[in-house]
Structure 1
Amino acid sequence: MTTVISILGGSLYRSIRRLPHAGDGNAVILCVPYRATAEKTGEDQTVSLDHDLRYATKAEWNAGVEQYEAQRRCTSQVSSPSNGVVAEITARSSAAQKIQLFRSLFRGRDDVYAYGFLSKKTGKVGYAPVAWNEWMTLPNGKRVPTPSDQRRCKPLTDQVLLDHFTKRDSQFHNVVGLYPLSKDSKVWFLAIDFDDDGWKEEIIVTKRVCENHGLHPIMERSRSGDGGHLWMFFSEEIEAAQARKMGTALLSEAAQKTHIRFRSYDRMFPNQDLLPSGGFGNLIALPLQRLARDAGNSVFVDEQFNPYADQWAFLDSVQRITAQQVNAIATLASANTGPLGNLAKFDSPIPHAVGQKKETDKQAPTTGNGSLRTGSRTPPSNADVPETITIIERSMLEISKTNLTPLAQNAVRRLAAFANPDFYRAQAMRQPVYNKPRIIYCGEETVDSILLPRGCRESVAALLTDAGCTVTFDDERNQGKRIRVKFIGSLRAPQSEAAKTMLEYDDGILVAPTGFGETVIAADLIAKRKTNTLIIIRSSSLMEQWRDRLEQFLTVKAKLPPLLTPTGRIIRRQHRYSHELCRNTPQGYCRLRTFPDYLG
């Protein structure tokens, strides 16, 4: 016999019988609280207490049935779609049952956890491990934080989680941060954080990519409300490296359907393949925190970003991912282009000078320089690009997004992205990877355009041309000012060969050992180009060396304007090369800037 379920007053009820109303003859539904456990085990659900009985009008009952069916359809995305099993744990379940369910999903380190705090300086929420001895007193009476190797951490108890769910603390001391990475570098779940503009589209697309692979992740709106977490729970402990490889592959696939920022690869929990030496790995703030829930945040939502009516019933219906599913996706990614997708890679040693030769017309070249391997997991086709496209050359290459599909845009962006060796070096040595991006992206973004470094000129032209697009370039680069300058030195044979090769290209990199004479070659190039020049130096310690070499090997055949201080006074010692005192003035033919100063 089919059991009909209805939601009345926020609780589940099943009907016993229909009774005619004595007044108008309309049916009245006699119902009792529904117990899913009893139905599964075949136990008798006969009512033993009169106060368990409830009467509902036909209209109330039918409205409750519709509400229940709507909620069941929402939860069916993460539960078995055909068994129709109702969650055993609901909002009316005991605190112990809820905590047991929560701990079965959000499993991490039990011997340590972090608590939140509100920074007085920044006003932002931070987290710190909870310890019995968080502070220690020095002999001079000053209290300082206890060193990590002497800290005795508190375990994560049920009471701590209960406070997380129920207490309202404006200082966030009851907000729990969980360390997902176990001591043997395994995890029970994987979470991906989306917090950029457009995070809703990113998380929805990634979720649907997961569903295409038979996975059923769930979405949580973050505590701030300005982002979301995509949670995937495992049926058993999984190697963190394998779980992260799966997550990375899913992100790479989603990036072909929408704009997934590269920093999303750094927003996975855990953020390490291996537990860092002497640390706990990164933490994630647990959901369902009471103060955030009051504002409609830190809750699980559907694809319209509406919170589920019963958060606990929804969690009880979550479908876990098996180790076989994780391995299958990770293996499939490795067999193709790797979990990160195709990134820029140098397959051959860089010669003395690489780049593109000067172009005498507007037509783009159709072949690359052979040293840069580029593309995306699925290369764009004629349907992904317009018939013609004009790329504007300024300080960067400006590529319009108009008529470029997300797949083509992703392929273009990846021409200027490469794996960060520092990240993998630190991870291999079990060092912290905080503030070390997994992917370095050298491009920029506007609403209408993708901006790539000018060194990607040939690669982007080849990519779009191979897709069937006619590419032209519009040169709007700053041509600089012509100067009358002469090189008064002489170059050795290797220096002369390098300078001659560099002059054949508009862009390029000279790679040479220490003492090769890069400053002398630069002086020769300035004299041959006869254009005012900006020289960016790694550190201020090299400033005088460059200035001395330029004064030694260059002579200017023109009267230079006097150098002025920021207040307009003439500097007595006149240099033809502007330095830090006049870096913001247009005087001089060569401007020396340190790299940090240039960025600032």
Structure 2
Amino acid sequence: MKQPFPKYAFFNNELYVSVKTIEPVPTTGRDAAIVCRRASGNAAEAEERYVEQRLWLEAASAVNETARSRGLVTSQSPAHEKIALFRSLFKGRPDVHAHGFRRKDGGIGYVPACENEWKRGVCPRVENAHTKCSLCEKQAFAPLTDSTIISHFKGLDDRFRDVFGLYVLNEDSTTSLLVMDFDEGEWQDAARAVREAAKSHGLQASVERSRSGNGCHIWFFFECPVSAKLARDFGSALISEAMAHAKSVGFDAYDRMFPAQTTIPEGGFGNLIAAPFQGRAQRRGNSVFVDEQLRPYPDQWLFLSKVGKLSEEAARAVVDSHAGAPLGSLQDEHGVPWKGRAEKPLSRESFTGFLDIVESDMIYVPESALSAEAANAVKRAAAFAN
């Protein structure tokens, strides 16, 4: 069986990816040339270089060993290295995960993966489909195995039972990650705004195009589990900053954050988030991570191996820096929702033109006359802490 041509090679301590092969003129007797570019950075802007095929093959022969020594994983890395990387980032509650199923309407639903699921005489859902798995005396939750992850990557089950999700809220109300969910609306602009807000704090936001392709998940990974409250406060601060600088970040695009609660709800596990890289969606260009232009990274594994994790101190710094920001709070010091106000009042410069407010079945304020700061103030005046 013919071996695939090696995609990566290291030169001068830099990882390069092959772009194409230029065959020589037969009469010259020269070796073929490999056109390559640096694997990191923006592919569209990367400078292309030429390497003799012989030198490329020599450098590529030890690429896996070199990549492993530098903590890099690529699409050519062994499967066990990819799975280990995946597990190191996408950490949910360790004792239970969810698997999908096809709903009657054709959509996807999720239930906890249980060894006793649908066993007659054992699983109470056989008699009552509305039984809560979290309260079941016969529960025997299945572990998240490597084969489960691989099946998720392949995405071959028409019933969606090979899709899995993570319960991100641990029993002690901590979490190892935070995910922002943006759907419909101007989710593309929202993703860019949140990414820029994170970058302003020296942090990385990892943007995954959702399974449907009509939204995105923005992932943040913590070095160690942090309290769910801190994670959610951190996410709220970034979203508020994004809303202050981009009018397109509105309530129609922003859906929710995961974890969706700060403590474990009684009789449940908290909300779950579907894991990325679902095979069926990947084949449509979805459920993958995208760059600033919302284009899938050429090598998803190389991207993940370079993702930076947040420390608890970094998350707290973002929350603390937001405490006295001009966006203000959604409530006053006594917890009254409708009395929250901005620390810095709006000025004439906050409006780009004449503001014509229309009172009808609702109050209508045209966005065209509002700066991003003023638009955010209006949104916050119409919202309250829930």
**How does the TM-score come out when normalised to structure 1?**
0.53
Whether 1:343 aligns to 2:330 is: yes
Instruction: Work out which of the residue numbers 203, 206, 212 in structure 2 matches 1:224.
Output: 212
Counterpart pick for 1:287 among 270, 276, 297: 276
Asked whether the 8 Å contact 1:135–1:144 carries over to 2, the reply is no
For the pair 1:211 / 2:185, whether they are aligned, the reply is no
1:192 Cα deviation (Å)? 0.3
Alignment pair present for 1:7 and 2:7? no
Q: 1:336: Cα distance to partner?
A: 4.5
- Return the offset for 1:266: 5.7
TM-aligned CA deviation for residue 7 of structure 1: 2.3
State the structure with more CA Rg.
Answer: 1
What amino acid is the match of 2:82?
K
Are 1:300 and 2:289 matched, yes or no?
Answer: yes
**Letter in structure 1 aligned against 2:349:** A
Q: Which residue of 2 aligns with 1:310?
A: 299
The structural deviation recorded for 1:182 is: 1.3
The residue that corresponds to 2:36 in the other structure is: 64
Which residue is equivalent to 1:91?
75
| Residue 3 of structure 2: aligned partner | none
Correspondence 1:380 to 2:364: no
Give yes or no for the alignment of 1:129 onto 2:112. yes
What letter is aligned with 1:311?
Q
Conserved in 1, the CA contact under 8 Å of 2:186 and 2:249?
no
What is the one-letter code of the residue matched to 2:270?
A: G
Other-structure match for 1:190: 178
Residue equivalent to 2:227: 239
| 1:110 is aligned to 2:80 | no
**CA RMSD across the alignment:** 3.3
Change in Cα spacing, 1:377 to 1:94, as seen in structure 2 (3 Å) is: farther
Contact 2:181 2:254 in 1 (8 A): no
Deviation at 1:331, TM superposition (A): 2.2
**Identical-residue share of aligned pairs (%):** 38
Superposition pairs for residues 515-534 of structure 1, below 5 Å? none
Counterpart of 1:180 in structure 2 is 168
List per-residue Cα deviations over 1:393-439 (Å, max 9, x = no partner).
Answer: 2232222222311211111222222122xxxxxxxxxxxxxxxxxxx
Alignment partners' CA distance in 1, 2:287 and 2:314: 28
- Are the equivalent residues in 1 in contact too, given 2:358–2:364 (CA < 8 A)? yes
Superposed CA deviations along residues 434-463 of structure 1, whole A, max 9, x for unmatched, are xxxxxxxxxxxxxxxxxxxxxxxxxxxxxx
**Residues 471-496 of structure 1, C-alpha deviations (whole Å, 9 max, x = no match):** xxxxxxxxxxxxxxxxxxxxxxxxxx
The 1:269–1:5 alpha-carbon spacing in structure 2 relative to 1, beyond 3 Å, is closer
Residues 181 and 73 of structure 1: CA distance in aligned 2, closer, same or farther (over 3 Å): farther
1:389 aligns with 2:377: no
Residue 254 of structure 1 is matched in structure 2 by 242
Distance 1:346-1:245 versus aligned 2 partners, 3 A rule: closer
Contact 1:346/1:372, CA 8 A, preserved across alignment: no
Q: Show CA shifts across 1:83-120 (max 9, x none).
A: xx976211111111100000000011222111111111
After TM superposition, give the deviation of residue 320 of structure 1 in Å.
1.1
Structure 1 unmatched ranges of 5 or more: 12-19, 29-55, 75-84, 350-370, 421-600
Query: Residue 255 of structure 1: SS of its match in structure 2?
Result: helix
User: In structure 1, how many angstroms separate the alpha carbons of the residues matched to 2:255 and 2:269?
Assistant: 17
Higher relative contact order (CA 8 A, sep 6+): 2
Q: Distance in 1 between matches of 2:226 and 2:20?
A: 37
Q: CA deviation at 1:9?
A: 7.0
**Mind listing any 5+ residue stretches in structure 2 that lack a counterpart?**
1-10, 47-68
Rate the CA distance shift 1:265–1:301 in 2: closer, same or farther, 3 A. closer
User: Which residue is 1:466 aligned to?
Assistant: none
Residues 182, 255 of structure 2: 8 Å contact kept: no
In the alignment, what sits opposite 2:28?
A: 24
Pairing partner for 1:100 from 81, 84, 102: 84
Q: Which SS does the other structure have where 1:380 is aligned?
A: coil
- What secondary structure does 2:369 align onto? coil
- C-alpha contact (below 8 Å) 1:240/1:272 kept by paired residues: yes
CA distance in 2, matches of 1:10, 1:174: 36
Q: Equivalent residues in 2 for 1:118-157 (5 A)? A: 118-120=102-104, 122-135=105-118, 137=120, 143-145=127-129, 147-148=132-133, 149=135, 150=137, 151-157=139-145
SS in 1 for 2:220: strand
Q: 1:135 to 1:348 in 2, by over 3 A?
A: closer
CA contact (8 A) 1:216 1:319 kept: yes
Which AA in structure 2 matches 1:162? I
Distance 1:344 1:327, change over 3 A: closer
Task: Say whether 1:405 aligns with 2:371.
Answer: yes
Change (3 A) 1:138 1:329: same
Name the SS of the counterpart of 2:179 in structure 1: strand
Find the aligned partners of 1:404 and 1:119 in 2 and give their Cα distance: 43
Aligned residue-pair number: 346
Partners of 2:204 and 2:18 in 1: how far apart? 29
What letter corresponds to residue 309 of structure 1 in structure 2?
A: P
Rounded Cα–Cα distance in structure 2 between residues aligned with 1:408 and 1:379: 10
Work out whether residues 20 and 36 of structure 2, in 8 Å CA contact, stay in contact via their aligned partners in 1.
Answer: no
Q: Which residue of 1 aligns with 2:5?
A: none
Q: Is the Cα contact below 8 Å between 1:344 and 1:414 reproduced in 2?
A: no
Q: Deviations over 1:151-177 (max 9, x none)?
A: 221111111111111232222111111
Report the Cα distance in structure 2 between the residues aligned to 1:387 and 1:192, rounded to whole angstroms.
Answer: 33
- Where 1:116 maps in the other structure, the secondary structure is strand
Matches within 5 A, 1:410-429: 410-420=376-386
Answer whether contact 2:189 2:249 (CA < 8 A) is retained. no
